[in-house]
Structure 1
Amino acid sequence: MKLRDYQQEARVSIQNEWEKGIQKTLLVLPTGCGKTIVFSKVIEDRVIKGERVLVLAHRGELLDQAADKLGKSTGLKCATEKAEQTSIGSWFRVVVGSVQTMMREKRLERFDKNFFDTIIIDEAHHCLSDSYQRVLSYFENANVLGVTATPDRGDMRNLGSFFESLAYEYTLPKAIKAGYLSPIKALTIPLKLDLSTVSQQAGDFKASEIGTALDPYLESIADEMVRTAKDRKIVVFLPLVKTSQKFTEILNRKGFRAAEVNGDSKDRAEILEDFENDKYNVLCNSMLLTEGWDCPSVDCVVVLRPTKVRSLYSQMVGRGTRLHPGKTELLLLDFLWHTDRHELCHPAHLIAENEEVAKVMTQQIEAAGVPLDLEAVEKTAAEDVVAQREEALAKQLAEMKKRKRRLVDPLQFEMSIQAEDLASYVPSFGWEMGPPSEKQVATLEKLGILPDEIDNAGKATKLLERLENRREQGLTTPKQIRFLEQRGFEHVGTWSFDNAKKLIDRIAANGWRTPEGIVPSEYRGE
């Protein structure tokens, strides 16, 4: 099987991390981009080296899917470690294992601690739980690859407490632009759903209380679906089985062909097949279909299980991002959730680089009243955020001029050199989150940057790397930028060191006044 370019890059990057001695690394691929294919090829590489590999997951569907894709893409067969099934005595070098089974002490003790050389964790955002950690700490010498579709750095920061590096990340916007996933249009439904009384449990909203809060709105939500999505193939995520069943009945009364599936549905496989074959056009579920189920023809997702967990939100939306003949886009219905907290996930969080951009995107989508393409909204929102930053920077610079600081504020430097990646940087892994070292602080100060404003080692490292790259390229220094921008010259960060030096020399020779005939706001260097 020939891999796509990004899949091959991911495969190589993962192997490189392990070769460098980094034991625990992450792969981030959006839902629908072939994460199982990638880790199957990684497994093939390790088996060729003579290793034994364990694929660890928390649901039977994920284990079956992994075994099936591994066989189809590499020809490798698997043994299974789940309930009554055991891999002990098997000839196969790959084992797919249920974490609920593997975590048991008696089960673990059947294996030597060095039995597995490599462990693959499917849906790695679950791996911080005690059950996973028990298995991972038992096989502590194994290389570990975590695979997840988590879309934002908030989840990544949590995963950074276990994983040591991010081997490879392929983003949702890249996948859409390359034509591997469906474009997403978001529409905010103008219903104000009050969640202010809903409490939290295990870091998210309590499902039982969401169900109660949602009940009064179900009829209105169904009416809005008739108005906006009656001809679409829809998956609806709800907080409780009873809410899902009630909403299914309401949708059928409104003219939809709706079905409901849950963990106790005896005819689940039949219902899913009928949905795929268009007997039904709406499928309601209580969080059952977030992982391990695909139906590419789905072109509308309705999230009626509000969450602040990005990985969960991404999994729900991911049920509709795959390509399908005749499908032009995925319609994602969002709601005006009223809550005392502001951490709720919205469509913007699928692609926004940071919370600042996500907030502006959400406001623009809510104001539009029609479906908007997420990528187009992200572009305008990012431009608005940059404009707001520049306005705030102008005020900050005015205050800095009064204080006559000797050193350059990092934000001034980042904006002047147009370094959006530095301005929006958020640390992900353990060492990045710690404070800058004494050496980093001293070097930043020596190079003209105010170190007090840099609060983590990751940002200090990136800033020092950028300064070194600029020196090698012969671009302006922070001190040159500060000197000239204080005198009204703009975008000095894009000038060469030599041009800035010549101008500063002319200003010095003119009694530290700008030479006649030079208009700072229009001057762009020689």
Structure 2
Amino acid sequence: MKLRGYQQDARESIQSEWENGVKKTLLVLPTGCGKTIVFSKVIEDRVIKGERVLVLAHRGELLEQAADKLEKSTGLKCATEKAEQTSIGSWFRVVVGSVQTMMREKRLERFDKDFFDTIIIDEAHHCISDSYQRVLNYFDTANVLGVTATPDRGDMRNLGSYFESLAYEYTLPKAIKSGYLSPIKALTIPLKLDLSGVGQQAGDFKTSDLGTALDPYLESIAEEMRKVASDRKIVVFLPLVKTSQKFTEILNQKGFRAAEVNGESKDRAEILEDFENDKYNVLCNSMLLTEGWDCPSVDCVVVLRPTKVRSLYSQMVGRGTRLFKGKTELLLLDFLWHTDRHELCHPAHLIASNEEVAQAMTKQIEEAGIPLDLEKVEKQAEEDVVAQREEALAKQLAEMKRRKRKLVDPLQFEMSIQAEDLSSYVPSFGWEMGPPSENQVKTLEKLGILPDQIENAGKATKLLERLERRRDEGLTTPKQIRFLEGRGFEHVGTWPFENAKRLIDRIAANGWRIPTGIIPSEYRGE
């Protein structure tokens, strides 16, 4: 099986991390981009080296899916550690294991602590839990790969407490642009759903409270869906089984062909097959279909289980991002959730580079009243956020001029060189979150950057790397930026070093006044 370019890059990056002594690393791929294929190929590489590999997951469907893809893509067969099934005595080099089974002390003790050389964790956002940690701590000499579809770095701060690096990340916008996933259009339904009375549990909304909070709105939601999505193939996520069942009844009364599945459904496989074959056009569920189920023809997702957890939100939306013949886009329905907290996930969080951009996007989608393409909205929101930052920067510059500060504020430097990745940087891993080292602070000062505004070692590292790269590329220094932008020149960070030097020499020769004929706001430094 030939891998796509990004899949091969991911495979090589993972092996490279392990070869360089980084034992616990992460792979981030959006749902639908072939994470199982990638880790199957990684497993093949390790087996060729003579290693034993354990694939850990928390649900039977994920284990079956992993075993099936592994055999289809590499020819390797697996043994299983789940309930009464055991791999002990098997000659297979790969074991798929249920974490609920493997975590038991008696089960673990059947294995030597160094039995597995490599461990793959499917849906790695679960791996911080005690059950996973018990297994990982037992086999503590193994190399570990965590695989997740988490869409942004903010969600990975928790993972950063266990994993040491991010081997490879392929983003949702890249996958859409490259034609591997469906474009997403978001529409905010103008219904105000009040969640202010909903309690918290394990860092998210309490599902029992959510069901009660949603009940009064179900009729109106169904009516709005009828207006905007009656001809679509829809998956609806709800917080409780009883809410899901009630909503299914309401949808059928509105003319939809709706069915409901839950953990107790005896005819679940039959319902899923009928939905795939278009006997139903709506499938309601209480968080059952977030992982391990695919139906590429789904072209509308309705999230009626509001959440603060981006990995969960991403999993729900991921049920509709796969490509399918005749499908032009995924329609994602959002609502005017009223909550006392602002951490709620919206469609914008799937692709926004930071919270500032996400808020600007959400506002734009809410005010539009029509479905908007997420990528186009992000582009506009980023431009608006940059404009606001530049306005704030102008005030800051005026203040700096007054104080005649000799060093460049990091924000001025980032805006001047147009480095959005630096200004929206969020640390993920343990070492990144610590304060900058004494050596980093001294080097930044020496290079003309004010270190007081740099809160962590990760940001300091990124800045120093960028400064070194700019020096190699012959671009302006922070001191040149401070001097020229202090006199009204714009985006001096994009100029060549030599051009800035010549202009500064001319200004010096003119008694530190701008030479006649030069208008700073129009001068581009070419």
Corresponding residue number in structure 2 for 1:366: 366
Corresponding residue number in structure 2 for 1:207: 207
**Deviation digits for residues 449-496 of structure 1, max 9, x if unmatched?**
100000100110110111111111221111111111111111211112
Corresponding residue number in structure 2 for 1:423: 423
Shift of 1:406: 1.2
Separation in 1, partners of 2:53, 2:340: 46
Separation in 2, partners of 1:502, 1:279: 73
Corresponding letter in the other structure for 1:153: R
Does 1:163 pair with 2:159? no
Shift of 1:523: 1.7
Separation in 2, partners of 1:17, 1:333: 39
Separation in 2, partners of 1:491, 1:190: 41
Report matched runs for 1:313-328 at 5 Å. Answer: 313-328=313-328
Separation in 1, partners of 2:331, 2:520: 49
Corresponding residue number in structure 1 for 2:138: 138
Corresponding residue number in structure 2 for 1:459: 459
Does 1:353 pair with 2:353? yes
Separation in 2, partners of 1:475, 1:320: 44
Corresponding residue number in structure 2 for 1:221: 221
Corresponding residue number in structure 1 for 2:300: 300
Corresponding residue number in structure 1 for 2:126: 126
Corresponding residue number in structure 2 for 1:47: 47
Corresponding letter in the other structure for 1:71: E
Corresponding letter in the other structure for 1:503: L
Corresponding residue number in structure 1 for 2:468: 468
Separation in 2, partners of 1:332, 1:524: 43
**Deviation digits for residues 396-447 of structure 1, max 9, x if unmatched?**
1111111111111000011111111111111111111110000000010111
Shift of 1:524: 2.1
Q: Which stretch has the larger CA shift, 153-162 or 104-113?
A: 153-162
Shift of 1:517: 1.9
Corresponding residue number in structure 2 for 1:20: 20
**Deviation digits for residues 309-348 of structure 1, max 9, x if unmatched?**
0000000000000011111110000000000000000000
Corresponding letter in the other structure for 1:431: W
Report matched runs for 1:49-198 at 5 Å. Answer: 49-198=49-198
Shift of 1:107: 0.2
Separation in 2, partners of 1:177, 1:509: 51
Corresponding letter in the other structure for 1:17: E
Corresponding letter in the other structure for 1:132: Y
State the secondary structure of the residue aligned to 2:337: strand
Separation in 2, partners of 1:524, 1:212: 60
Corresponding residue number in structure 1 for 2:479: 479
Unaligned runs of 5+ in 1: none
**Deviation digits for residues 80-104 of structure 1, max 9, x if unmatched?**
0000000000010000000000000
Does 1:8 pair with 2:3? no
Separation in 1, partners of 2:522, 2:98: 66
Separation in 2, partners of 1:108, 1:431: 31
Corresponding letter in the other structure for 2:18: W
State the secondary structure of the residue aligned to 2:352: coil
Separation in 2, partners of 1:271, 1:355: 39
State the secondary structure of the residue aligned to 1:435: coil
Separation in 1, partners of 2:292, 2:378: 29
Corresponding letter in the other structure for 1:224: E
Corresponding residue number in structure 2 for 1:259: 259
Corresponding letter in the other structure for 1:103: M
Shift of 1:503: 1.5
Separation in 2, partners of 1:33, 1:68: 17
Separation in 2, partners of 1:232, 1:139: 47
Aligned length: 526
Report matched runs for 1:384-399 at 5 Å. Answer: 384-399=384-399
Does 1:337 pair with 2:354? no
Separation in 1, partners of 2:44, 2:505: 63
Corresponding letter in the other structure for 1:257: R
State the secondary structure of the residue aligned to 2:161: coil
Corresponding letter in the other structure for 1:464: L
State the secondary structure of the residue aligned to 1:315: helix
Separation in 1, partners of 2:188, 2:373: 12
State the secondary structure of the residue aligned to 1:160: helix
Corresponding residue number in structure 1 for 2:284: 284
Corresponding letter in the other structure for 1:405: R
State the secondary structure of the residue aligned to 1:150: coil
Corresponding residue number in structure 2 for 1:33: 33
State the secondary structure of the residue aligned to 2:92: coil
Shift of 1:505: 1.6
Corresponding letter in the other structure for 2:408: V
Separation in 2, partners of 1:381, 1:494: 23
Unaligned runs of 5+ in 2: none
Corresponding residue number in structure 2 for 1:407: 407
Shift of 1:241: 0.3
Corresponding letter in the other structure for 1:9: D
Shift of 1:509: 1.8
Does 1:236 pair with 2:239? no
The 4+ residue runs of structure 1 with deviation greater than 3 A are: none
Separation in 2, partners of 1:524, 1:196: 51
Corresponding letter in the other structure for 2:259: A
Q: Which stretch has the larger CA shift, 395-404 or 73-82?
A: 395-404
Separation in 2, partners of 1:32, 1:491: 40
Percent identical among aligned pairs is 89
State the secondary structure of the residue aligned to 1:8: helix
Shift of 1:270: 0.7
Corresponding residue number in structure 2 for 1:513: 513
Shift of 1:525: 2.5
**Deviation digits for residues 254-300 of structure 1, max 9, x if unmatched?**
11111100001111111111111111110000000000000011110
Separation in 2, partners of 1:183, 1:475: 37
Corresponding letter in the other structure for 2:52: R
State the secondary structure of the residue aligned to 2:89: coil
State the secondary structure of the residue aligned to 2:270: helix
Corresponding letter in the other structure for 1:116: F
Shift of 1:216: 0.1
Give the TM-score normalised by structure 1: 0.99
Shift of 1:512: 1.4
